[in-house]
Amino acid sequence: MDIKNLPGMIDLSCVKTESTFDELNTMVAMARKYRTICCFAMPCYTQWLIDQLKDEKDIIVGGAVGFPSGADLTEIKVTTARRFVELGCGELDMVINVSALKSGHYDLVENDIRQVFDCSNGLPLKVILEVAYLTDYEIQKGSELAVKNGTSYVKTGTGWACKPTTIDHIRLIHSTIGDSAKIKAAGGVRTLDDIKHMIDAGCSRFGIGIRSAQHIFDEAGL
């Protein structure tokens, strides 16, 4: 990995329940300093984030759809996605209906993804599996449904789960989807070594909270 390309692989995030406005301001400052590719806030702050970064043409603001459980009504996800498109988001990260996947209700999962994809106006859609709650088979099935219904990235998690994304998760997803979509890791990516190993396993984007991101940038000497 060429270290100078690292910021272009990192989506900074402030999407926890306890994320404060001070942390959002820190995220904006970090994005400007390091030129990270994307930033995410919870929906109520997305317009504010877009306003803060409107002059930074190389920094995308993403929209968080269905955080954190993915169990919103599909109509709510669609409404949220459409609103983010209207606001000017450049990407959408959507949590699948994790419960439906685990219950074998694959038609529900597939319809959920497809409807958000259909209203995304061509924006890259990252479909979040929340791998910490899934069996290997469920990860494979979720990845297949995501790719079948238009995802640009299969994303591992929201960062809310009790267990981190691992290299084995990346390998499993990559072995399932090949080059039919890209992979984004999020949740538990805390060191430069984590990133290097996950890149080797097939990952190309990373969602990282501001504290872990600062540690990684310091490790990289940026």
Active-site residue, 184 included: yes
Q: Which residues contact 186 (CB under 8 A, 6 or more apart)?
A: 11, 13, 128, 155, 156, 157, 158, 159, 165, 206, 207, 208
How far is residue 188's CA from residue 27's CA, in Å, rounded to a whole number?
18
**Torsions phi, psi for 91 (to 5 deg):** -150, 160
Diameter over CA atoms, the chain: 47
Catalytic choice (77, 126, 141, 184):
184
Q: Which residues contact 51 (CB under 8 A, 6 or more apart)?
A: none
Q: Supply 134's token pair.
A: 């899934």
State how far the alpha carbon of 141 is from the alpha carbons of 77, 166, 172, 176, in Å.
21, 18, 11, 9
The β-bridge partners of 41 are 14
**Torsions phi, psi for 209 (to 5 deg):** -65, 160
Active-site residue, 196 included: no
Q: Is 179 helix (H, G, I), strand (E, B) or coil?
A: coil
Place of tokens 């685990």: 102
How far is residue 54's CA from residue 88's CA, in Å, rounded to a whole number?
9
Residue of 12, 85, 7 lying closest to 47 (CA atoms): 85
Catalytic choice (72, 155, 182, 194):
155
Active-site residue, 72 included: no
Catalytic choice (11, 72, 77, 93):
93
Residues involved in catalysis: 93, 155, 184
